[in-house]
Amino acid sequence: MKYNIPRGTFDILPEDSYKWQFLQDSFRKFAICFGYQEITTPIFEVSELFERSSGESSDVVQKEMYRFCDKKGREFALRPEGTAPVVRSYVENNLDKLSKRSKLFYLGPMFRYDRPQAGRYRQFYQYGIEFIGSNNPYYDAEVIAISMLWLNSLGLNKLRLEINSVGCPDCAVLYDKALQEYYRPFLGKLCPDCQNRFNTNPRRLLDCKVPSCIELRDDAPSQLNYLDEPCEKHFEAVCNYLQAMKIKYIINPRIVRGLDYYTNTAFEIVYEGLGAQNSLAGGGRYNGLIEQIGGKSVPAIGFAGGFERLLIALEEEKINYAEKPKPDAYLVCLGENVRLEVLTYLNDLRIKGLIVDYDPDKNSMKAQFKAADASGAKYAIIIGEDELANKTINLKNLQTGEQIRVAMNAEDTKQRIRAKI
Ligand code: HAM
């Protein structure tokens, strides 16, 4: 019996895992420099959490959630996104009592039952930031800056930052009405999904990918003309902060995020080379969400991006962002007795943090040197009966061919290898 991986998922094979580790470490360090701390939540939550937060009429809830019941019949879902779980944890653990501002980041797999295609998977890996605790537009700019600057730091420059304001719930009511008025005469021309959206969530009409609906979108009213004064001022301030940070953006009033919790700022980072799935990262403010799922009324903003699309973009631009780790040394042993006696030294080298390759199945000197070369090791540590008797090793630099005999001492070997002696 042979088994296949589930559709829309993939294995990260050992050959590639260093790239993932690099991106995880790099994002972690970057977020920490901006004062954010890591939060890890379970990969499943009660389904209702997502229904209440993402929105009953959103595609994520309607079509894309992996739902299951446990043995007691309670309904859970694999998390389709990270914001609702972080907010659940913030409320449940009273994080507001620890500090007025919670600056959180996360890394981990998310799950959406969607039609798989390039850059769209059923299990995908997100990195994200959630800032909870202030409505100051500076934080909108800070969160947007983190999302852009990290991608720039990896070497990606062909990015387009698009920002918009979807206003507060009061603005949204006015805008929804304006959209319904505009679309009403064309109802018959809309796709069946959009005919439903017309009543349940008219803004989603702007996000439809069906060509006849896209055509109608061009003349639809702009969200930005329906902002009240405080929302307009907030948006203006965000733009000013971004300019002060020298972060380039374009205003795209057509940005509709796929999740329903957004208020005011909404943004996406687009990478053209990605085809239909061209959003590398996206996010926005969600000032109503915390109260909506049982907390106090606390403003918040965040974003998330996907590693899969990011990897595609990095490969496309041929950016050498991570180096594949190679062994520091390869241990060449000659003689049965030596093979036993060197094991504590070998373990000590590894405990001290050196990457040391060793293969007890290779016997001849020739076979072991061949393996050392193939492994890409920088040094060979050569030990025979004579060296063992004198508690020494031969340390050979495999690039220069230089060789020295030194004491068999793991700390000393480490120092020499690190100092490239
Ligand atoms: P989202 O736009 O649904 O937002 O997803 C964010 C990013 O996750 C996308 O830009 C994309 O890179 C990646 N992504 C989404 N779905 C898939 C998929 N099926 N396959 C591969 N990558 C995918 C959110 O998830 C919000 N929680 C972001 C946020 C945080 N808003 C506020 N705070």
Closest protein CA for atom 30 of ligand 1:
303
- Does residue 144 sit in the same domain as residue 273? yes
Helix axes 47-54, 83-92, angle to 10 degrees: 110
Q: How many angstroms does the Cα of residue 282 sit away from the middle of ligand 1? A: 6
Q: How many angstroms does the Cα of residue 306 sit away from the middle of ligand 1? A: 6
Ligand 1 atom nearest the C-alpha of 310 is: 12
Neighbour count for residue 244 (Cβ, 10 Å) = 10
- Burial class (CB within 10 angstroms; exposed 0-12, middle 13-18, buried 19+) of 400: exposed
For ligand 1, pick from 65, 309, 312 the residue to mutate: most ligand atoms within 8 Å of CB.
309
For ligand 1, pick from 54, 64, 279, 290 the residue to mutate: most ligand atoms within 8 Å of CB.
279
Domain contains 73: yes
- Does residue 24 sit in the same domain as residue 51? yes
Among 285, 316, 347, the domain-final residue is 316
Q: Which domain holds residue 357?
A: 329-418
Report how far residue 47's alpha carbon sits from residue 313's, in angstroms, rounded to the nearest whole number.
Answer: 33
Closest protein CA for atom 32 of ligand 1:
302
Ligand 1 atom nearest the C-alpha of 83 is: 27
How many domains is the chain built from? 2
The CATH number that applies at residue 400 is 3.40.50.800
CB 281 within 8 A of CB 143: no
Q: What is the pLDDT of residue 87?
A: 98
Cα-to-chain-centroid distance, residue 115: 20
- Does residue 338 sit in the same domain as residue 408? yes
Domain contains 281: yes
Q: How many angstroms does the Cα of residue 110 sit away from the middle of ligand 1? A: 9
- Name the pTM for this structure: 0.93
Among 316, 342, 360, the domain-final residue is 316
Q: What is the pLDDT of residue 270?
A: 96
Report how far residue 62's alpha carbon sits from residue 304's, in angstroms, rounded to the nearest whole number.
Answer: 21
DSSP per residue over 6-55, as a string?
PTT-----HHHHHHHHHHHHHHHHHHHHTT-EE----SEEEHHHHHHHH-
Low-confidence residues of the chain: pLDDT under 70 = none
Closest protein CA for atom 13 of ligand 1:
306
Among 292, 316, 340, the domain-final residue is 316
Ligand 1 binding residues, C-beta < 6 A: 81-83, 112, 114, 119-121, 124, 126, 128, 130, 258-259, 279-284, 286, 302-306, 308-309
Domain contains 211: no
Ligand 1 atom nearest the C-alpha of 281 is: 10
Q: How many angstroms does the Cα of residue 259 sit away from the middle of ligand 1? A: 10
CB 356 within 8 A of CB 346: yes
- Does residue 245 sit in the same domain as residue 97? yes
Q: How many angstroms does the Cα of residue 112 sit away from the middle of ligand 1? A: 10
- Does residue 18 sit in the same domain as residue 93? yes
Q: What is the pLDDT of residue 207?
A: 84
Q: How many angstroms does the Cα of residue 70 sit away from the middle of ligand 1? A: 27
The CATH number that applies at residue 237 is 3.30.930.10
Q: What is the pLDDT of residue 209?
A: 83
Q: What is the pLDDT of residue 358?
A: 97
- DSSP-derived letter for residue 419 is T
Q: What is the pLDDT of residue 275?
A: 78
Closest protein CA for atom 3 of ligand 1:
258
Report how far residue 208's alpha carbon sits from residue 213's, in angstroms, rounded to the nearest whole number.
Answer: 6
Q: How many angstroms does the Cα of residue 278 sit away from the middle of ligand 1? A: 11
- DSSP-derived letter for residue 228 is -
- Does residue 302 sit in the same domain as residue 383? no
